[in-house]
Amino acid sequence: MEQKNMNWMKTIGSAILGFGLITSVFASTGPEPFYGVHQSGISTPAQLNTYFIAFDVTTTKKEDLVKLLKDWSDAAVDMMAQPEQFDKNADPTKIPRKSGASVGLSNAALSITFGFGATLFEKDGVDRFGLAKKRPEALVNVPVFTGDQLVPERTGGDLSLQASANDPQVVEYVVRRLAKLANGVAVMKWAQPGFNGAFKAGETGRNQMGFKDGTLNIPTKDVKLMDKHIWVGNEGPSWMQGGSYMVIRPIRISLDHWDDMNLAFQEETVGRHKSSGAPIGKQKEMEELGLKRTDAKGKPVINEYSHSAISSPENNEGTQILRRAFAYDNGITKVNERWPPWRQLTTFDAGLLFMCYQKDPRTGFIKLFSKMAQIDMLNQFTTHTGSALFAVPHGATKGHYIGQDLFED
């Protein structure tokens, strides 16, 4: 790769590192490592682009599944180590191993993350691959929450695959190459690309609603907090130790509706000032929420049903999750699950591709969201249209594939 391009990557890398983190950390400027205690794409600083695909396994043979995980791991090693290049001396009469669609692009801090859904362990009462006994208790069936408008085309899946990088053509190339390896073994069930704006280094990014998003997220460099809340420890099976559980939910946001609300109501709903990101009545983004503050009439300064109050650790017995969300935008649609047709039957099919990681979803997202789903003021503008939970096993070491100790121990 030419020096010029490397320099470009460094600036891109540093441009996005503040997203969703409290403190300014340094994003990786080169390739992310595939091998390690943890899979890439969890504590990796959020990139500009992502592509998520859930698969249903169609084979009935365990060895096919194992071969797929080996193939996926090998391809991920190759793609994460270096930008795509054409195979030299490739036999022109053979099908090329790679599409070439990202040749000339950097691999753009590519991370690739694989996960296993509950249905891989047991589906419709069938223990398809002899894994039923190994299903971790934490890999629960996610409940349907108040207000959920889940569609099958955005829900569940036996396997999850996510590629994230600072280039939309790179993530598309990566998932296409990996999806091709699944032919005959698994079929794509649902997929969603996503993006982040290129916010400045050290600055919390804004979401589509115009608010800073991720101010209170866990700083991924804080090993203690990550071990406490995010990484599975010795309470889990060995194949999950160093792994985490990922909840993913495409959340349609009624952006038209939201944009028609006055500023004061928007701020009350979020519990923060729009411009500064500071808690209501405060000046700076990083100040404590101060939920016990009351006004002259004894009313809480931050509405107790605001998104910030409802989701705060202090109102949830210290519960914390690692949000790693992207925006999504599929253009417009005539389908509008929940709201009246604000724009004459068409609306943006856009919102949040919500993803979060936690040590245990029962004490993480499910605990947090059970209450939020009922009373968060923000729910007036959001519709959860899909839902899935995946066990994301620990990272692989050289010579091993993702999930190996689940299948071979």
φ, ψ of residue 188 to 5 degrees: the values are: -65, 130
CA–CA gap between residue 105 and residue 111 (Å, rounded): 15
* CB contact set of 213 (below 8 Å; sequence gap of 6+): 20, 204, 205, 206, 207, 325
Q: Pick the closer one to its own copies by CB: 143 or 197.
A: 197
Distances (CA, A) of 141 to 122, 131, 161, 196, 248: 11, 16, 19, 30, 13
Return the amino acid letter for 208: Q
Please, which residue, 328 or 369, has the CB nearer to its own copies? 328
Shortest distance, CB of residue 403 to its own copies, whole angstroms?
Answer: 23
Q: What angle do the packed helices 62-81 and 168-181 form, to 10 degrees?
A: 150
* Residue (143 or 184) nearer to its own copies, CB: 184
Give yes or no for residue 158 binding its own copies (CB under 8 A): no
Give me the least distance between CB of 226 and its own copies, in Å please.
Answer: 27
CB of 295 to its own copies, least distance (A): 15
Residue nearer to its own copies on the CB measure, 194 or 361: 194
Binder of its own copies out of 67, 221, 274, 367 (CB under 8 A): 274
Tell me whether residue 129 or residue 328 sits nearer to its own copies (CB atom): 328
- Token readout for 265 is 């109501």
Residues 38-67 that bind its own copies (CB under 8 A): 48-49, 51, 53, 58
Distance of CA 4 to the CA centre of its chain: 31
One residue of 105, 112, 218, 270 binding its own copies per CB under 8 A: 105
Residue 240: which of 71, 7, 409, 32 has the closest Cα? Answer: 409
Span 108-127, contacts to its own copies by CB under 8 A: 108
**Two structure tokens written together for 112:** 């690739």
Please select the residue that binds its own copies; options are 149, 294, 330, 374, rule is CB under 8 A: 330
Q: What single DSSP character describes residue 338? A: S
Binding to its own copies by residue 329, rule CB under 8 A? yes
Q: How far is the CB of 105 from its own copies (least distance, A)?
A: 5
Q: Does 283 bind its own copies (CB under 8 A)?
A: no
Write each residue from 163 to 202 as x if it is in contact with its own copies (CB under 8 A), else as -, in one continuous string: ---xxxxx-xx--x--xx--x---xxxxxxx-xxxxxxx-
Contact pick of 264, 286, 335, 375 for its own copies (by CB under 8 A): 264
Task: Please enumerate in sequence order all residues whose Cβ is within 8 A of that of 94, keeping only pairs 6 or more positions apart, or say none.
Answer: none
Quote the CA–CA distance of 363 and 357 in Å, as a whole number: 11
331 binds its own copies (CB under 8 A): yes
Question: Can residue 284 be called a binding residue for its own copies (CB under 8 A)?
Answer: no
Residues 334-373 that bind its own copies (CB under 8 A): 334, 343-346, 348, 350
Q: Quick one: which of 263, 255, 268, 258 has its CA closest to 377?
A: 268
